Amino acid sequence: MAHQPTPDRLIPPLSPRQELALLARTLWREGYNDHLAGHITINRGDGTLWCNPWLLHWEELRPEHVVAIDFDGKVVEPSLDGHDWPVPFGIPLHLELHKVRPEVQVAVHSHPLYSTVWADIAEVPPAMDQSSALGGGELVVVDEYEGAANDANAAAAAVKLMGDADMALLAAHGVFVTAGSVRAAHQRCVAVEQRAQRAWHARAISNGPLESRIGSDAVAMFAASKGEGFIGFWEAAVRTELRDDPTLLDHG
**pLDDT score recorded for residue 223:** 61
Residues 226 and 137 sit within 8 Å (Cβ to Cβ)? yes
E strand spans, the chain: 39-43, 48-51, 67-70, 75-77, 106-110, 139-142, 167-170, 174-179
**pLDDT score recorded for residue 206:** 86
**pLDDT score recorded for residue 208:** 74
Residues 122-147: pLDDT tens digits? 999 999 998 898 888 999 999 876 76
Residues 216-229: pLDDT tens digits? 666 666 666 666 76
Spans of all domains in the chain: 12-242
Structure-model confidence comparison of residues 130 and 28, the more confident one: 28
Name the CATH superfamily for 12-242.
Answer: Class II aldolase/adducin N-terminal domain (3.40.225.10)
Strand order from edge to edge, sheet including 174-179: 75-77, 67-70, 48-51, 39-43, 106-110, 174-179, 167-170, 139-142
**pLDDT score recorded for residue 212:** 75
Residues 40-63: pLDDT tens digits? 999 999 999 999 999 999 999 999
Mean pLDDT along residues 160-184: 95
